[in-house]
Amino acid sequence: METVLGIIGGSGVYDHPGLKNAAWTAFDSPWGTPSDALNIGELEGQKVVFLPRHGRGHRLSPSGINYRANIDIMKRAGVTDIISISACGSFREDLPPGAFVLVDQFIDRTFAREKSFFGNGLVAHVSMAHPVASRLQDHAEEAAKAAGIKVVSRGGTYLCMEGPQFSSLAESNLYRQWGCDVIGMTNMPEAKLAREAEIPYATVAMVTDFDCWHPEHDNVEVTDILEVMHGNAANAVELVTHLARNFPRERGACSSGADTTLDTALITAPEARDPALIAKLDAVAGRVLSSS
């Protein structure tokens, strides 16, 4: 099976100038309106599908993003692997602004978002013990180093807050005590939904600031973040270029099991399943629902 690399671009990363034969293509989703159309093209010979998470022009707040529709249309477009490019704050002195962190764990502190494709009428429970595909992390790490990014840290915990306000000092100190490494507002429930859709997922978290715990950076300002974000975005473009250049053209089995996670997740008996919900899951769970 041919690989199709999906890139969800976060703050400051809305497109990739190197896409060839690119076309913005709108997809309808039964889950509502996605952030934007998909920019589908080729990069270094690799088919790439690019989605600006906040919409072109950064129209959508973290809480206003329709994460279910975004993942659904990525699945409909044939995406086999997702790399999330995300701005974040740092809880560690050795992860300064400009660092790229390949996180492998998440803590979800969001509360105003739809977090699952499943529910009453078709219940499913997917494992999130290891939410990031290590194979994708390998490729992202190699690409980051090839792009010449100075600080690339593999592994770490991403605390996802609801936002849109930044943390209070008490919250920032609490999250550091929990052992979190970075903080952002968008990777949950995105990673959970990718898992439910059986799409291997990995995050490249780009540090823009030290949050507010740092005594020399005790007030997060958007103007300061935007300045760092500009340099991060240029590095992200280079990372994605190297990633596409060396990405496998044929899809292999995911070592984390993300591509078959629904095999053991559905719990509702077939005769008790809601036909309306099944219809909405045609892309996300069609593989298992058609067989059952």
Query: Does 53 carry a binding-site annotation?
Result: yes
Could you confirm whether 209 is annotated as catalytic? Answer: yes
Query: Does 195 carry a binding-site annotation?
Result: no
CB contact at 8 A, 66 and 89 = no
Q: What share of the chain is helix, strand, coil (3-state, %, to 5)?
A: 30, 25, 45
Strands (E), the chain: 5-9, 20-25, 38-43, 46-52, 81-90, 100-102, 105-109, 152-154, 157-161, 182-184, 201-209
Phi, psi of 180 (to 5 degrees): -70, 155
Query: Does 211 carry a binding-site annotation?
Result: yes
Query: Does 87 carry a binding-site annotation?
Result: yes
Catalytic-labelled residue, pool 36, 72, 104, 209: 209
Query: Does 54 carry a binding-site annotation?
Result: yes
CA torsion sign for 171, 95, 63, 189 is negative
Catalytic-labelled residue, pool 15, 211, 224, 274: 211
Query: Does 292 carry a binding-site annotation?
Result: no
Query: Does 224 carry a binding-site annotation?
Result: no
Task: Write down how long the chain is.
Answer: 292
CB contact at 8 A, 234 and 100 = no
Q: What's the CA gap between 221 and 166, in Å, rounded? A: 9
How far is C-alpha 77 from the chain's CA centre? Answer: 16
Which residues touch 16 (CB under 8 Å, ≥6 apart)?
A: 7, 9, 39, 43, 48, 50, 237, 240, 241
* Strand 100-102 versus strand 201-209 pairing type: antiparallel
Enumerate the known binding-site residues: 11, 53-54, 86-87, 185-186, 209-211
- Feature table: binding site for phosphate: 11, 53-54, 86-87, 186
Residues of the binding site for substrate: 185, 209-211
Q: Which residues are catalytic?
A: 209, 211
